[in-house]
Amino acid sequence: MDIRARFMPTLAILQHDLGTLASNWLVRLWLLVSAALVFLVVSGNWPRVEDGPLIAMTLIPYLFMPWFLVVIMLGVGPVAGARSESLADGLLSRPVTRYEYLLASWAARVITVLGVFLVVVVPAILMIVLANRPEPADPVTAYGIFAALFVVCLVLTLQVSLAFLLGTLLRRQMVAVALLAMGWLVSATVLGTFQLEELSPISLSQAMPALLTQPWSEKEKTPEAIEASDFSEIFKPMGDLMGFGAPPPPKKEDGKFFDREAYKDVSLWRVTLGYGIPTLLSIVLATIVFCRRDL
């Protein structure tokens, strides 16, 4: 059998769900509000916060509050509520298996969530590191930026996967959203008291400045800052227009929330395993339950 023909039903479901999500009012509203929030965070803290903590401030809403509510609402939809009532006719009348439908719907929501996150956050990060700002005491590194973006994408994928699992088990959309929201808040708070960045999004948020300044290799004595001389002229008019101007050297004060000393040994591998394993387990369990249940 031709490989392309074999995956054609899955690709058709993926394309259909992506189009549906692109026209969804919740996704569009989330995109606009999250962009406005990032703008307010960056502009409000531009003169007095270093690059690392400022970038971390733009990432925190996606790790913990408030955007996880939007993510789980998008993740629960395909397997719970009114959508589940039309699954039987759809699966019986089309050459598509249950796991193909589930994985295609899951992939569409992961792509949408990560797309909104990257479209909003990446331009803000580029503006922060490439603008004409004073040299920070602890400059961010290219490796640190990619690592931070990867970790947040992994946490968002976990949120979608957990929503898929609860939606499959409960079939009631609002009940699944309420239980998952409560469980996410409680677990993040409890685990955060033990400073477990591998399991708690609160601790991971606190560890972001330390992760952003990590070099690629421990052999590097001093992490090199991202070169901004070639790009400063590009971003200077934008900064002047937004009222940023040329700020004085920011003080090295991360506040009580960020604690670089406590998280100086943050490990990307531990964080990846801490959030990656539950993501895989959620997908596998959701697929098993969905394939065995009566529609």
pLDDT for residue 224: 46
Residue 285 has pLDDT above 80, yes or no: yes
Q: What residue has token string 């509203």? A: 29
Higher pLDDT, 57 or 88: 57
pLDDT one-digit tens code per residue, 27-56: 999 999 999 999 999 998 888 888 888 999
Mean pLDDT across the chain: 77
Confidence band of 261 (pLDDT split at 50, 70, 90): low
Q: Could you tell me the CA-to-CA distances from 223 to 71, 93, 207 in Å, in that order?
A: 34, 58, 17
pLDDT for residue 255: 47
pLDDT for residue 78: 62
Amino acid of residue 159: Q
* Side-chain-side CA neighbours of residue 45 (13 Å): 23
Confidence band of 262 (pLDDT split at 50, 70, 90): low
pLDDT (average), residues 86-103: 63
Nearest-angstrom CA–CA distance, 25 and 29: 6
pLDDT one-digit tens code per residue, 141-167: 899 999 999 999 999 999 999 988 888
Residue 120 has pLDDT above 90, yes or no: yes
pLDDT for residue 294: 57
* Side-chain-side CA neighbours of residue 243 (13 Å): 6
Radius of gyration of the chain (CA): 21
45 Cβ partners below 8 Å, 6+ apart?
54, 57
Cis omega (within 30 of 0) for bond into 139:
no
Angle between helices 173-192 and 142-170 (to 10 degrees): 140
Residue 57 has pLDDT above 50, yes or no: yes
pLDDT one-digit tens code per residue, 212-241: 888 876 554 444 444 444 444 544 555 554
pLDDT for residue 186: 82
DSSP 6-33: HTHHHHHHHHHHHHHHHT-HHHHHHHHH
Higher pLDDT, 1 or 137: 137
Q: What residue has token string 């920070």? A: 136
pLDDT for residue 35: 95
pLDDT for residue 277: 92
Percent with pLDDT over 90 in the chain: 23
Closest CA to 188 of 209, 162, 212: 162
pLDDT for residue 222: 44
pLDDT (average), residues 9-27: 85
Helices (H), 64-141: 67-76, 82-85, 87-92, 98-130
Confidence band of 260 (pLDDT split at 50, 70, 90): low
pLDDT one-digit tens code per residue, 179-199: 888 888 887 777 767 666 677
Please state the domain extents for the chain: 3-292
Higher pLDDT, 142 or 11: 142
pLDDT (average), residues 280-284: 91
Residue 293 is given by DSSP the state S
Q: How crowded is residue 246: how many other Cβ atoms within 10 Å of its Cβ? A: 13
Q: Could you tell me the CA-to-CA distances from 26 to 33, 72, 172 in Å, in that order?
A: 10, 12, 19
pLDDT for residue 279: 93
- Are the C-beta atoms of residues 116 and 30 closer than 8 Å to each other? yes
